[in-house]
Amino acid sequence: MIPLIAPIVGALGHDPIRFGVLFSLNMQVSFPAPPFWPAAFHLKSVAPPEISLGEIFRSLLPFIGIQILTQALVTAFPAIALCYR
């Protein structure tokens, strides 16, 4: 999708680096989050049998919160993503 969307983002006047950072953060949030929880099922496949899927779901929630907070900060303060300038 990036090769298709990046030229549009640039044509709209947005910074492609900031877009790439926000896109990457969004993908990070989607991996351990509902509705499919792919990270939870990967963790369950390697976890000891006594660890339930519910425990894994609850354990992922703080990480999801941190990722959402990071995405909100980068959205609110673009200089975080553009620190190279």
- Residue pLDDT tens, the chain, 85 long: 888 998 999 999 988 888 889 999 998 888 888 777 888 888 899 999 999 999 999 999 999 999 999 999 999 998 888 876 5
Side-chain-facing half-sphere of 63: CA atoms under 13 Å: 15
pTM of the model: 0.78
Name which of 73, 67, 62 is nearest 24 in CA terms.
67
Helix ranges restricted to H, the chain = 2-11, 16-30, 38-46, 53-76
What integer pLDDT is reported at residue 85 of this predicted model?
57
What integer pLDDT is reported at residue 84 of this predicted model?
64
Could you tell me the residue ranges of all domains in the chain?
2-80
